[in-house]
Amino acid sequence: MARRWSDLPEGRRRTLVVLAVVQMLMAGAAWTDLALRPEEYVRGRKLWWSLAILVNFAGPIAYFRWGRRT
């Protein structure tokens, strides 16, 4: 059953918009950090991390948790 945006209740639409904004901010922060961080301070290849960040919430969280060296 296909649903349209206009069929969703107002509360659900707001929740989806907030989640989308949070996702974009997390991905943007992760990509920015990855771009500015020297390769020796990244665990693994930068290319793979840049692709992993595309995976909804899990990618940016994984990068910030396991992808960076201090």
Alpha-carbon torsion angle 17, 22, 25, 27, nearest 10: -110
Please state the pTM of the whole predicted model: 0.86
- What ranges do the domains of the chain cover? 24-70
Distance CA 59, CA 51 (A): 8
pLDDT at 21: 97
Tell me the CA distances in angstroms from 37 to 2, 8, 32, 47, one per residue in order: 43, 41, 8, 13
Q: pLDDT digit string (tens) for 4-25? A: 999 999 999 999 999 999 999 9
Find where tokens 């909804």 sit. Answer: 56
pLDDT at 1: 59
Q: Using 50, 70 and 90 to split pLDDT, how confident is the model at 3?
A: confident
